Amino acid sequence: MVKNLYIFSIGRLFRKHNNVYFKSKDGNKKALKIESLSSIYIMNKVSFTYNALKLLLDRNISIHFFYESKKKGISYYLGSLLPRKKFPSGIMTIKQVQHYLDEGKRCEIALELIDATRYNMIKAIEKYNNVQKEIELLKNFNPRSKFIESYRIKKNKNIGNVLRGIEGEIWDIFYTAIGKILKRYTFDKRTKRPPKNEINCLISFLNTLLYTHVLSEINKTHLDPTISFLHEPRSVRYSLALDFSENFKPIITFRTLIWLVNQDVIKDNHFVKGLEGILLNEKGKKIVIEHFEKRMDRTVKIKGYGRKSIRSFIRKQAYALEKAILEESKFKAFRFMQ
């Protein structure tokens, strides 16, 4: 089974024979076992030799970089170094762009992602008795009807703004439910860049882990990660990874969050408060990563696909979109059965 590697120590990655080793600042050396690696997460100052970097990219291993300022309480996702696509497809890129430019096709894909997100939100919170009001609101929310209504009455008929507004409505309902479910800490609204409290800090960190994983999986397909449908394509971000993260967030980010908080796994001493925001310390990050990875490996059921790990379904959803675009068929985003 492939795994992700998280490096928290200052050190150096170098190649020896046909493997890559990490040597920490205190002199400890360890082989990475690259045959079982999917991605490497660099959480501290790490240098690379050219040969080590070449071997990692040749083995299709993505590298994601993070930076934090403990003084300010700000944590950044710096960016990713992705392997070149082994099987690039010009036809796929052309078709993907055409679907983005065609408002009807773009809306169909985006609204399907929103509706799958709504469905997965219900699945994530349906066992909690104190959020029945929010569950009913989500059940009665029809993204397609909302889109038709919003698009007709808005003077500025920017498709992206209308779609994101509809998505924002379901997230507002869901956030209200999360605030009721959590037994510790206050959560009344979403804040980021930087997060202002413990819950927002956890959400931001978990969402970034999910985003980078989704990005790695998209890069293994023919899809271009910069051409999206729900989020607007912009520079300095892979917006298709943002699209795909949406319907997985309720099941991955928020189920992990609820477990960490309500089971008293994450505690006050796992956070660091700075001048501008709050972030997790190293121990806190390791705890969150451990439970995030367990959640990703959890076996779930999706209609038509049987039971598999959540991790495997992310790439399968990318393949489903790729097939729908190439065959001009209807895209079905993943909805979890449990």
pLDDT digits (tens, 9 = 90+) for 194-236: 787 899 899 999 999 999 999 989 988 899 999 999 988 876 6
Q: What is the pLDDT of residue 288?
A: 94
User: Closest Cα to residue 7, out of 51, 52, 45, 54?
Assistant: 45
Q: Is 315 helix (H, G, I), strand (E, B) or coil?
A: helix
User: Closest Cα to residue 291, out of 2, 6, 69, 91?
Assistant: 6
Q: What is the mean pLDDT of residues 135-146?
A: 88
Q: What is the mean pLDDT of residues 102-129?
A: 92
Flag whether pLDDT at 301 surpasses 80.
no
Q: What is the mean pLDDT of residues 325-333?
A: 91
Flag whether pLDDT at 247 surpasses 70.
yes
Lowest mean pLDDT among 75-89, 117-131, 204-218, 221-235: 75-89
Q: What is the pLDDT of residue 1?
A: 63
Q: What is the mean pLDDT of residues 285-310?
A: 83
Helix or strand run (H / E) with residue 294 = helix 282-296
Q: Which CATH architecture fits 3-59?
A: Ribosomal Protein L15; Chain: K; domain 2 (3.100)
Q: Cβ(198)–Cβ(67) under 8 Å?
A: no
Query: CB-based contacts of 207: which residues, under 8 Å, 6+ apart?
Result: 245, 249, 253
Would the CA dihedral through 136, 139, 141, 145 be positive or negative? Answer: negative
Query: CB-based contacts of 26: which residues, under 8 Å, 6+ apart?
Result: none
Q: What is the mean pLDDT of residues 19-47?
A: 88
Strands lying side by side in the sheet with 3-7: 3-7, 37-42, 62-69, 74-81
3-state DSSP: the chain helix, strand, coil percent, rounded to 5?
A: 50, 20, 30
Question: What letter would DSSP give residue 235?
Answer: T
Question: For residues 248 and 218, what is the distance between their CA atoms, to the nearest angstrom?
Answer: 14
The CATH code belonging to domain 90-327 is 1.20.120.920
Q: What is the pLDDT of residue 214?
A: 93
| Domain ranges within the chain, ordered by starting residue | 3-59, 90-327
Residue 252 identity (one-letter amino acid): I
If you average pLDDT over every residue of the chain, what do you get?
A: 86
Question: For residues 272 and 284, what is the distance between their CA atoms, to the nearest angstrom?
Answer: 10
Query: CB-based contacts of 168: which residues, under 8 Å, 6+ apart?
Result: none
Flag whether pLDDT at 163 surpasses 70.
yes
